Amino acid sequence: MSRAMNLSVAQDEIKRICADMGISTTSVEPLLPSGSRVVCLTADGAFALRKKMGGKVIEGSVKRVPRALRTAP
């Protein structure tokens, strides 16, 4: 199972949910026009997050924001 997933949820909410669940992430980045891509540190964390987010997981291809256009948190 992949540790990466795309969710129809804002970055701040993903970070909050992961912190509440004790899930470590290596990356949380925006998608265009909305949503976020998250990469969990472990496969177990990814499984738990997928289960929690259920219908908010985006299936199929997405458009990522180029790194040069992302703003620092």
Domain residues of the chain, as ranges? 4-57
The C-alpha atoms of residue 53 and residue 26 are separated, in whole angstroms, by 18
Angle at 7 between CA 2 and CA 22, to 5 degrees: 70
Give this prediction's pTM.
Answer: 0.85
Q: Which amino acid does the sequence have at 58?
A: I
Determine contact, residues 2/44, Cβ cutoff 8 Å.
no
The alpha carbon of 40 is separated from its chain's Cα centroid by a whole number of angstroms, namely 8
pLDDT (tens digit per residue) in 17-72: 999 999 999 999 999 999 999 999 999 999 999 999 999 999 989 988 877 666 65
